[in-house]
């Protein structure tokens, strides 16, 4: 079994801010405390891709900032690769990588290759390793040619590809990705996901990923951790999340003839109607034994030309989770 590379216990970050007001009230208003991360504990194993999810302001980025040594927590402890992150030991920072979707590691006016060379020296990567790694990045992301044009002339997707290369040139053991696909088109998102997946597989890279794109999570994550107002509300596999929070599946049936209208209506009443057309029906059915009964009844009620039973998407699940919390 892979070892735990990240052990976080009761991590908490409290910010102080002045109470809102105008003029002098804003300057001298009473201080109030904002708990951004509230006693969060979890472990991550080597090679795991953890989706760190939550609504805006739920404490995702703050956690990442503490685990990358940028910020000091108010209380709690964490060991990442055996180091306390906020002690900012050089040996630790050399073994991690960080990508903030909204911040660039590149130099705006000149080709990205200059940034790659700079980070080669920052992380003391040998020239041989540098060349070999560039070949690898090029084989998946096609960055070699891209890196020759000035960053300002690149599309957002191209910039993100180059940013990823700059952040991973030193082959970190853990990478923290804060919304790496934000603002990208579908093709660029897929390229970024393919790359993360490949790097994870080939180099046993551990990834902590925050994103608002559920497709990122479904495509990449082995586990997810859900935050709500700084508090952990779930940590585990996606299938367990679905089991815990959903307990239903979606049944879709398309038919060309109704054999028994009353039976069809009784099937519809077994679940929650999602949609209905002239010759199709979509239902949410609880996974408590109702589903096989409904399928059997449908086969008798209509002349089926297509039938599909699927799990609801993660997007629906998250809406349900956070909806319930509110």
Partner 1 sequence: MRAGYYLRLLWDMARVRLAEMREYSADFAVLLITVPSYLLVNLFFWQVIFSHARVIAGWTLGEVILLQAFMNLGFLFWNLLYIFPEELDEIIVSGELNTVLSKPVNPVIYLLVTNIDVLGALKNLSGVVAYFLVAGWLGADISLPGLLAGVLMVFLGVTIASTIVFLIQSLSFWFGRTNALNLFYNAYFTVSEYPVTIFPASVKFVLVMFLPVVFFTTGPALSSLKEFPPEGVLGLIALSLLVWTVWLLSAWLLWKAGLKRYEAYGS
Contact positions vs partner 1 (CB under 8 A): 15, 61-62, 65, 68-72, 88, 90-94, 96, 98, 100-103, 105, 107, 109-111, 114-115, 117-118, 121-124, 150, 178-179
| Least distance to partner 1, CB of residue 157, Å | 19
Query: Which of 211-236 are b and which e, b meaning 16 or more Cβ less than 10 Å from the residue's Cβ?
Result: bebbbbbebbbebbbbbbebbbbebe
Residue with tokens 């509230």: 38
- Of residues 62 and 200, the one with the C-beta less far from partner 1: 62
The sign of the CA dihedral 257, 262, 268, 270 is negative
| Least distance to partner 1, CB of residue 77, Å | 16
- Of residues 114 and 254, the one with the C-beta less far from partner 1: 114
- Of residues 101 and 271, the one with the C-beta less far from partner 1: 101
Q: What tokens does 123 get?
A: 């992380």
Torsion of CA 20, 60, 42, 79, to 10 degrees: -90
Q: How far is it, in rounded angstroms, from Cα 321 to Cα 119?
A: 41
- Of residues 65 and 242, the one with the C-beta less far from partner 1: 65
- Under a CB-based contact definition with an 8 Å cutoff, are residues 162 and 184 in contact? no
| Least distance to partner 1, CB of residue 163, Å | 11
| Least distance to partner 1, CB of residue 19, Å | 17
| Least distance to partner 1, CB of residue 93, Å | 4
Q: What tokens does 147 get?
A: 């890196």
- Of residues 211 and 250, the one with the C-beta less far from partner 1: 211
- Of residues 154 and 317, the one with the C-beta less far from partner 1: 154
| Least distance to partner 1, CB of residue 238, Å | 25
Secondary structure of 130-167 as H, E, C letters = HHHHHHHHHHHHCHHHHCCCEHHHCCHHHHHHHHHHHH
Segment (H or E) for 264: helix 261-270
């Amino acid at each position: 079994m892979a070892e735990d590379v990240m052990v976080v216990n009761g991590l908490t970050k409290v910010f102080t801010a002045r109470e809102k007001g105008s003029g002098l009230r804003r300057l001298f208003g009473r201080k109030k405390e904002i708990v951004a991360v509230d006693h969060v504990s979890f472990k991550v194993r080597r090679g795991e891709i953890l989706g760190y999810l939550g609504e805006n302001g739920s404490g995702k980025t703050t956690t990442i900032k503490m685990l990358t040594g940028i910020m000091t927590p108010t209380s709690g402890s964490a060991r990442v690769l055996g180091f306390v992150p906020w002690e900012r030991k050089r040996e630790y920072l050399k073994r991690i990588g960080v990508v903030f979707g909204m911040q660039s590691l590149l130099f705006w006016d000149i080709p990205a290759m200059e940034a790659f060379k700079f980070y080669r020296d920052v992380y003391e990567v040998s020239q041989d390793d540098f060349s070999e790694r560039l070949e690898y990045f090029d084989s998946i992301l096609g960055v070699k040619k891209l890196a020759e044009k000035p960053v300002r002339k690149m599309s957002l997707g191209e910039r993100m590809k180059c940013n990823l290369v700059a952040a991973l040139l030193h082959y970190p053991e853990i990478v923290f990705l804060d919304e790496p696909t934000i603002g990208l088109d579908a093709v660029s998102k897929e390229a970024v996901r393919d790359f993360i997946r490949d790097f994870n597989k080939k180099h046993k890279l551990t990834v902590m990923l925050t994103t608002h794109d559920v497709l990122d999570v479904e495509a990449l994550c082995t586990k997810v951790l859900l935050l709500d107002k700084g508090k952990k509300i779930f940590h585990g596999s996606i299938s367990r999340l679905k089991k815990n929070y959903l307990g239903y599946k979606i049944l879709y049936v398309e038919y060309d003839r109704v054999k028994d209208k009353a039976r069809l209506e009784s099937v519809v009443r077994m679940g929650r109607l999602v949609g209905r057309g002239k010759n199709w029906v979509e239902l949410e059915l609880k996974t408590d034994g109702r589903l096989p009964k409904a399928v059997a009844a449908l086969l008798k009620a209509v002349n089926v030309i297509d039938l599909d039973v699927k799990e609801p998407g993660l997007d629906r699940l998250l809406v349900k989770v956070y909806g319930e919390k509110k």
